């Protein structure tokens, strides 16, 4: 995962999300996904990112990689609905919402 957050803020975010970036397999990064986002919504337990169907492979690879390095979060892709759903604590969702914020 990478993002437009400054490096100090990014380090704090990775800590909050309990991510071990060294264990992350090669895959698209957050910045590569942003052009394909169509919406981001939030519930009390999830962030749901809807994306352009043309980017389904990117989102599937991203979720698979994040499941390794940020294993304490729930990552699932629904290719039929073109959604990425992340299950996390409210504080972690706050951080993710900022990561997936569009320009």
pLDDT number for residue 103: 39
CA dist., res. 23 & res. 93, Å (int): 22
User: By the 8 A CB rule, do 64 and 28 touch?
Assistant: no
The structure's pTM equals 0.80
pLDDT number for residue 8: 60
- Each residue's pLDDT expressed in tens, for the chain with a length of 103 residues: 444 455 666 677 666 676 666 767 688 888 899 999 999 999 999 999 999 999 999 999 999 998 888 888 899 999 999 999 999 999 889 888 888 875 3
pLDDT number for residue 98: 83
Residue that the structure tokens 């803020």 belong to: 9
């Amino acid at each position: 995962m990478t993002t437009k957050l400054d490096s100090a803020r990014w380090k704090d975010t990775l800590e909050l999300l309990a991510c071990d970036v060294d264990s992350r397999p090669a895959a698209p990064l957050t910045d590569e996904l942003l052009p394909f986002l169509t919406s981001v919504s939030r519930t009390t337990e999830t962030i749901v990112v809807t994306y352009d169907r043309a980017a389904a492979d990117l989102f599937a690879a991203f979720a698979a990689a994040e499941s390794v390095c940020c294993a304490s979060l729930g990552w699932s892709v629904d290719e039929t609905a073109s959604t990425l759903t992340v299950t996390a604590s409210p504080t972690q969702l706050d951080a993710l919402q900022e990561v997936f914020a569009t320009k």
